[in-house]
Amino acid sequence: MEGKFSSSTVSWVGSMQLWLVMSSGLVSGRLYDLGYFYHLIIGGSILFVFCLFMLSLAQPGEFYQIFLAQGVGAGLGIGLIYVPGIAVVSQYFYKRRTLAMAVVASGSGVGAALQSIMLNKLFQRLGFQTTVRISAAFNAGLLCTGILLSRTRLAPTPPKDSNLFRYMKVFFREPQYIAVILGTFFNLMGLFFPTFFLQLNANEKGIMSENLAFYLLPVMNASTVIGRIIFPMMVPILGIFNIVIPSVFICVILIFCELAVSSAGGYFVIAVLYGVFWGAYVGMFAPMVGSLAKEDSEIGARMGICFTFNRTPIAGALLTTSYIWWQPTLYAGLSGAAGVVCLAASRFWIAREKGSQIV
């Protein structure tokens, strides 16, 4: 597919999947608060696995088939699982809620690192169709295990106001919540750029072979586990915003550093460091939004609404077929910087409301 379609076109598959994962949160978060936890994770799991099997039937060069199966179908499936899967952990923890939710989220870093290596090896030996079917069966087993181990501890506590739009109106009266939504919007527009294009950047510049460049993403994903686990441990001492904001700022600096890298070692250093601080952000992203809830019955809705108002990264369109790297890099870096400003504004309002700098 890479030979027939541009990198920007191919990236729309992942971008659409990401957008659906996030935007589905408005529905899944609301239904989770109403007590439909098992319906969501079982239905989402079935849809995700089904679409993976459909992906294995996609014909070479037929972009729309891959887009529908992986971008749309799998995105919807994951979207139904994501918010309930993270939010249910909050029922079992209070003081260490952020750490617990981050540890659960760290599983995605481990899975992304291991499965990408597994798939790469299997593609070479077994081909596309067989490999994707193996992946579908493997993920079906993991999802079944997760469903069997998942339990809700508390009875559903529906929101006091059953009207979704009035409910949203209450949230949007809070400047700190609006600032977090805007910060998340800008961060997701920019900070996903290295995860999509770091491999291509290193390979296209001729700094390393395609085989070696492949391992940049697994290394980055594995490194996210460090950030997802270590930084949440500091939340009771420093506060979640005081950790997330510097982490995003460092990610922005590392994005700009990509323009100056000229060695394989430099790319791997960026992959490791970016993974650590990107992991800190994605690991504490959901707990950060959940911390704004006035009561537990709002957690799912607040997370879902925040995710819904976000859009897919479009930096790939700025890359063009001529591989003009400074354009998407500048866009991604400035988007992340705007996210830092918004999160800092949210922190300011929360600190003023609480009368404490530990927020």
Contacts of 355 (CB under 8 A, 6+ apart): none
User: What pLDDT was estimated at residue 246?
Assistant: 97
Residue 193 and residue 186: Cα distance in Å, rounded? 12
User: What pLDDT was estimated at residue 49?
Assistant: 97
Q: How confident is the model at residue 281 (pLDDT cuts 50, 70, 90)?
A: very high
Q: How confident is the model at residue 162 (pLDDT cuts 50, 70, 90)?
A: low
Residue 227 pLDDT greater than 60, yes or no: yes
Is-contact 257 359, C-beta < 8 A?
Answer: no
Residue 71 lies in a domain: yes
Q: pLDDT tens digits, residue range 167-214?
A: 778 888 999 999 999 999 999 888 989 988 899 888 888 888 888 889
Mean pLDDT of all residues in the chain? 87
Residue 194 and residue 223: Cα distance in Å, rounded? 14
User: What pLDDT was estimated at residue 317?
Assistant: 76
| Mean pLDDT along residues 282-302 | 82
Residue 2 lies in a domain: no
User: What pLDDT was estimated at residue 303?
Assistant: 80
User: What's the CA dihedral at 314, 213, 76, 329 to 10 degrees?
Assistant: -20
Identify which of 125, 136, 6, 35 has the alpha carbon closest to the alpha carbon of residue 77: 136
Residue 164 and residue 49: Cα distance in Å, rounded? 31
* Between 224 and 162, the higher pLDDT residue: 224
Residue 2 pLDDT greater than 70, yes or no: no
Residue 136 lies in a domain: yes
The string of DSSP letters for 254-272 reads: HHHHGGG--SHHHHHHHHH
Tell me whether residue 164 is exposed, middle or buried, using C-beta atoms within 10 angstroms of its C-beta: 0 to 12, 13 to 18, 19 or more: middle
Range of the domain at 300: 7-153+161-354
Residue 187 lies in a domain: yes
Domain count, the chain: 1
Residue 191 lies in a domain: yes
43-47, 77-81, 287-291, 312-316 — which is least confidently predicted? 312-316
Residue 275 pLDDT greater than 90, yes or no: yes
| Mean pLDDT along residues 280-289 | 88
User: What pLDDT was estimated at residue 291?
Assistant: 86
Contacts of 177 (CB under 8 A, 6+ apart): 171, 292, 302, 306, 346
Residue 50 lies in a domain: yes
Contacts of 225 (CB under 8 A, 6+ apart): 106, 109, 110, 279
Q: Is 36 helix (H, G, I), strand (E, B) or coil?
A: coil
Q: pLDDT tens digits, residue range 17-64?
A: 888 887 887 788 878 888 899 999 999 999 999 999 999 999 888 888
Tracing tokens 């009266």 back to the chain, one arrives at: 173
Residue 284 lies in a domain: yes
Residue 43 and residue 37: Cα distance in Å, rounded? 10
User: What pLDDT was estimated at residue 347?
Assistant: 97
Q: At what angle do helices 97-126 and 264-290 cross, to 10 degrees?
A: 140
Angle (CA) 226-223-323 rounded to 5° is: 145
Q: pLDDT tens digits, residue range 304-351?
A: 788 777 666 677 778 877 888 899 999 999 999 999 999 999 999 999
Residue 359 lies in a domain: no
Q: Long-range contacts made by residues 137-142, C-beta under 8 angstroms, separation at least 24?
A: 139/48, 139/49, 139/52, 140/45, 140/49, 142/111
Percent of the chain with pLDDT over 70: 94
Tracing tokens 């009561």 back to the chain, one arrives at: 295
203 is written with which tokens? 């390979």
- What is the domain-level CATH number for residue 77? 1.20.1250.20
